[in-house]
Structure 1
Amino acid sequence: MPEHLHTVTPRLALSDGASGIDFYKAAFDAKELGERCHMPDGTLVHAELLIGDAVVMVKDAQDDEFNALLCTHWPDVDAAWGSCRSRRRRGGLPPRRSVLRRAQRPHR
């Protein structure tokens, strides 16, 4: 898990991610961490904000997608996934590796 993240990190999909980031900076003195990642068409796919001591991820909303989710990071992602499945967690995809080479689980 990246050192600046906690076990659970919220991720927001906003109708206009850039405007949302500007709002959080003005309203909550949020600090942008790193650089924003965009698709070739300009769609914001990832940005990280530090609000107080918490990181919040922001992206542009896309059709048929979540509005918010909780990204979880576990030392043993397979055990965490097994625990969810054994409790009859419905839907979703199994854990996968992101472009940052971390295992991640999209919770919908």
Structure 2
Amino acid sequence: MSQDLSRLDTIDKHLLAVLTASIMDVDEISRLLNERRQCLEEIKMLPKPPEGNAWSSALRRTKRIVNLMEIYRNTVAVQARPFIKGRKLVQTYKKFE
């Protein structure tokens, strides 16, 4: 496995650990996603494509990361709904002041 794919594997493992933690660190997720994007850009610039098995594994991890991010986004959206509704009610009441 190339050094870049090994680095991507390390980033992905850390990212998956943060995404599956009971309390997610949004700043850490953002930092890891940026680091992952940079690593993928470096892999894209390689003179030859990555080896099959390692690349297939990276694609499976990518699907899992995307899936976990979607679950996280949906959970946050559900939790934010009452706050958004409350803010709209306050704005409605302010119209009558």
TM range (shorter): under 0.3
In our comparison, the structure showing a higher alpha carbon Rg is: 2
Structure with the bigger percentage of helix: 2
Greater fraction of residues in strand: 1
Structure having greater relative contact order (Cα 8 Å, sep ≥ 6) = 2
TM-score by length of 2: 0.22
